[in-house]
Structure 1
Amino acid sequence: MPKILVLYYSSYGHLATMADAVADGARSAGAEVDVRRVPETAPFEVAEAAGFVVDQTHPQLDDVNALGDYDGIIVGAPTRFGRMPSQMAAFWDKAGGLWMSGKLNGKIGGAFTSTATQHGGQETTLFSIITNLMHFGLTVVGLDYGFQGQGGVDEVKGGSPYGATTIADGNGSRRPSASELDGARYQGRKIAALAGKVAAAERTLEPAL
């Protein structure tokens, strides 16, 4: 049974909802899944003035070394002007020891995000997350076109071959749609299935090393 971490940051709850869908997909592939959020780094008065939702549904992950305990890591964060937010970046910036030790090399990863509009930086934000994951040695799995829900223009919808996405609207009033949640589940299932195969293969090879 692969062990999967869904690690996210969410200001207004959209990414928390997407994280639960990713986790559901991973569990459907037989994985053991933990959903964790990174610490808030914005000053309290800034977060309060901006109306940030303080999500207590998922435990906070403070120890970056815990990342090494997982076979797969799926990272979700909203866009901040076309890149990952400082809260998520700050968490990974503390993980230099994991990079030096190579503890994450060969693990399976993926990214998901949220933007206010369809052209608000979804793909660049995903790539900012993916860049980090690849520097730590993870093999990245996106949202392939086996998930056909990301196609068509019949409705406003997120989704990118680089990862599951949702669109929040400028005031945050739009919540993840059924199609967007299905995409998150699809990606979570794909990542968990591959992580399980890789972990099993590595266990088979260990005695020969």
Structure 2
Amino acid sequence: MRILIVYYSTYGHVHKMAEAVAEGVARIDGAEAALRRVPETLPEKVLEQMGAVEAQQAISHVPVCTVDELAAADAVIFGTPTRFGNMCGQMRQFLDATGGLWAKGALVGKVGSVFTSSATQHGGQESTLLSFHISLLHHGFVIVGLPYAFQGQMRIDEVTGGSPYGASTIAGGSGERMPSENELDAARFQGEHVAGIASRLKD
């Protein structure tokens, strides 16, 4: 069973969450996680001005996803940073190229899930996850979130991401904060949860 983890990461926060999601997927017997990046749309010069070149180079070993790979997967878990309460432009452009799959109903019945990152605690994480679900519903995905069975999202002793809609992390205004262990645990739980549901649907 193939679980595709498709994401965009500017400074490495979403990439780190994606790796944790893959660890969770691996907890389900027979499930194989495949990490994929969506194509970059920003010119090199802009990435340099953003200070993102080094972080991009660090994840350059992750293959770039093609839309056809979505159809071959049993489940797809998407990761995107938040951009004004929505998915990033790179992810939007990638999804906008899936019209052919939509026309064939190629993704109907597959499990779909989303995780995200934002600079601030209330920077639009939940709206990003929920608005992303709209695209998944149009494709016929069976949407899976992060249930309260993951007790880490009940914590009030620390600032942390995570909601019923999906795992998330808080990066800080300058990207100085990497995902906490609780946020990584949420990503692992989500990966395992998605893979478990996909396995039951496949059976």
Q: TM-score range by the shorter chain?
A: over 0.9
Aligned to 2:49: 49
- How many residues align structurally? 198
Separation in 2, partners of 1:84, 1:165: 13
Aligned to 2:107: 104
User: Secondary structure, in 3 states, of the residue corresponding to 2:24?
Assistant: helix
Structure 2 unaligned spans of 5+: none
Deviation at 1:57, TM superposition (A): 3.4
Deviation at 1:128, TM superposition (A): 2.2
Deviation at 1:59, TM superposition (A): 1.2
Map of 1:24-43 to 2, 5 A cutoff?
24-30=23-29, 31-43=31-43
**Cα-Cα RMSD:** 0.8
Aligned to 1:158: 161
Aligned to 1:80: 83
User: Secondary structure, in 3 states, of the residue corresponding to 2:36?
Assistant: strand
Aligned to 2:64: 60
Separation in 2, partners of 1:37, 1:177: 22
Aligned to 2:11: 12
TM-score norm. by structure 1 comes to 0.93
Aligned to 1:133: 136
User: Secondary structure, in 3 states, of the residue corresponding to 1:77?
Assistant: strand
User: Secondary structure, in 3 states, of the residue corresponding to 2:113?
Assistant: strand
What is the one-letter code of the residue matched to 1:56? Answer: S
Seq. identity, %: 52
Separation in 2, partners of 1:130, 1:57: 28
* 2:198 pairs with 1:199: no
Separation in 2, partners of 1:70, 1:199: 11
Deviation at 1:132, TM superposition (A): 1.1
The higher radius of gyration belongs to 1
Match of 1:113 among 112, 116, 120: 116
Separation in 2, partners of 1:104, 1:27: 22
What is the one-letter code of the residue matched to 1:196? Answer: S
Match of 1:89 among 75, 89, 92: 92
Contact 1:29/1:193, CA 8 A, preserved across alignment: yes
